[in-house]
């Protein structure tokens, strides 16, 4: 190997390793402490900082402490140490490591990636995908594009979504505004023995509303756990990774981070890459100025107790019975003060509440 060949190798090898470090840091919210130790061993100069990073990793991993992405400033400190090490190397290595962000050679156009790549998270019985990123950076657009790919690759299935749809609704899209609507779609899919995809837009807002009612919050998390068991898949769209419930962060092995419209970091099975030239959905039209609404209008804890097989009914039939009963209860007349259901008078008329019903001193 000539001197010139060695010089070229130094530049190319430094560029490749530096880009790999930048890609890893760009998705820091999802890394593990084991990865942090590997990064420190390769990219940090041995010394006090080196030992400090390893101590932080060991302490949090052994004690079940915070995730790396939950420690403020840790990613920035690692960036500084990575730059410091490269600046201590020979000039050719420094040249190789001086790379522009999101350069053409480090990303792929959306159009060149295959449907199999995008649907990788949902192979088999089903799976999970999270999409996070800054406001107005194209998160919902990516979810809708994946919905289009899903319907193309799985004809006859449905996408259940609270994304505000616009214009003529694409065949296979099913607008839902609450848990009972979702369960209707799940029952239809089970009855027809087909897959289904649930796109939950602004999922963090849904979980925050449910958090005010602890039963609803626990129910949502438990239902999310069994989505693949019901032949379904879930795309969860939220601005911050911290807004993704811990159960989904643990289950979701695939993630999109949206940096700005048209660009995203894709961490999907078999490949992590930057995707550029992301188009707007052509058929899955939505109103980008509106926020998706989804109401936790069902006691999922009760639903889960109904799912085990009883009296020969199918799972779809058991879900339909639960939804029917829940809607009847929600429509039943009740006292606006006490919240108690009111008795029905003869002929279907509602009997007026008694004076005693409004008293607070009744036993």
Structural domain that includes position 331 = 301-344
* In a shared domain, residues 110 and 250: yes
Please list, in sequence order, all residues whose beta carbon lies within 8 angstroms of the beta carbon of residue 291, skipping any fewer than 6 positions away: 164, 201, 202, 205
Residue 360 lies in a domain: no
Residue 177 lies in a domain: yes
Residue pLDDT, tens place only, 227-268: 999 999 999 999 887 778 877 887 888 999 998 888 898 988
- Measure Cα distances from 266 to 36, 107, 200, 272 in Å: 20, 10, 19, 6
Residue 363 lies in a domain: no
* Structure-model confidence comparison of residues 134 and 330, the more confident one: 134
* In a shared domain, residues 192 and 221: yes
The answer to whether residues 30 and 255 touch, using CB atoms and an 8 Å cutoff, is yes
Residue of 3, 360, 326 lying closest to 181 (CA atoms): 326
* In a shared domain, residues 170 and 235: yes
Q: What is the dihedral of CA 95, 101, 104, 107, to 10 degrees?
A: 120
What is the distance, to the nearest Å, from the Cα of residue 54 to the centroid of all Cα atoms in its chain? 30
**pLDDT of 96 higher than 80:** no
Q: Which residues of 104-122 are buried (b: 16+ CB within 10 A; e: fewer)?
A: eebbbebeeeeeebbbbbb
The structure tokens 């199999």 sit at 116
The band of 356, judged by pLDDT with boundaries at 50, 70 and 90, is: very low
Q: Of 99, 114, 147, at which residue does a domain stop?
A: 99
What is the CB-side half-sphere exposure of residue 191 using CA atoms within 13 A? Answer: 12
Q: Of 99, 120, 143, at which residue does a domain stop?
A: 99
Residue pLDDT, tens place only, 53-92: 999 999 998 887 888 988 999 999 998 988 888 777 666 5
In total, how many domains does the chain have? 3
Phi and psi torsions of 69, nearest 5°: -70, -15
Residue spans of alpha helices (H) in 63-202: 74-87, 91-97, 115-118, 139-153, 179-192
What is the distance, to the nearest Å, from the Cα of residue 264 to the centroid of all Cα atoms in its chain? 15
Residue 257 lies in a domain: yes
Residue 35 lies in a domain: yes
């Amino acid at each position: 190997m000539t001197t010139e060949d060695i010089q070229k190798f130094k530049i190319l090898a430094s560029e490749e390793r530096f880009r790999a470090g930048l890609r890893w840091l760009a998705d820091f919210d999802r890394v593990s402490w084991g990865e942090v130790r590997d990064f420190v061993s390769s990219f940090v100069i041995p010394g006090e900082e080196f030992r400090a990073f390893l101590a932080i990793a060991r302490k949090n991993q052994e004690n079940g402490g915070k995730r790396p992405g939950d420690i403020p400033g840790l990613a920035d400190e690692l960036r500084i140490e990575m730059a410091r090490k490269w600046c201590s190397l020979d000039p050719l290595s420094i040249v190789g490591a001086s790379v522009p962000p999101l350069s053409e050679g480090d990303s792929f156009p959306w159009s060149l990636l295959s449907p199999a790549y995008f649907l990788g998270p949902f192979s088999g019985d089903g799976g999970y995908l999270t999409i996070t990123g800054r406001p107005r950076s194209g998160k919902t657009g990516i979810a809708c594009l994946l919905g289009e790919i899903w319907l193309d690759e799985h004809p006859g299935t449905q996408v259940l979504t609270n994304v505000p749809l616009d214009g003529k609704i694409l065949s296979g899209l099913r607008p839902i505004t609450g848990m009972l609507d979702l369960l209707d779609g799940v029952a239809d899919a089970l009855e027809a023995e087909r897959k289904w995809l649930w796109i939950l837009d602004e999922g963090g807002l849904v979980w925050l509303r449910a958090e005010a009612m602890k039963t609803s919050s626990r129910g949502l998390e438990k239902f999310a756990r069994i989505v693949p068991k019901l032949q379904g898949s879930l795309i969860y769209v939220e601005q911050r990774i911290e807004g993704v419930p811990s159960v989904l962060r643990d289950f979701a092995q695939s993630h999109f981070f949206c940096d700005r419209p048209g660009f995203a970091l894709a961490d999907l099975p078999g490949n992590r890459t930057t995707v550029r030239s992301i188009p707007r959905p052509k058929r899955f039209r939505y109103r980008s100025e509106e926020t998706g609404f989804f109401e936790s209008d069902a006691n999922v804890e009760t639903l889960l107790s109904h799912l085990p097989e009883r009296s020969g009914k199918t799972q779809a039939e058991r879900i339909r019975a639960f939804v029917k009963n829940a809607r009847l209860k929600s429509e039943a007349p009740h006292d606006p003060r006490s919240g108690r259901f009111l008795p029905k008078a003869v002929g279907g008329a509602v009997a007026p509440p008694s004076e005693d019903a409004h008293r607070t001193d009744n036993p």
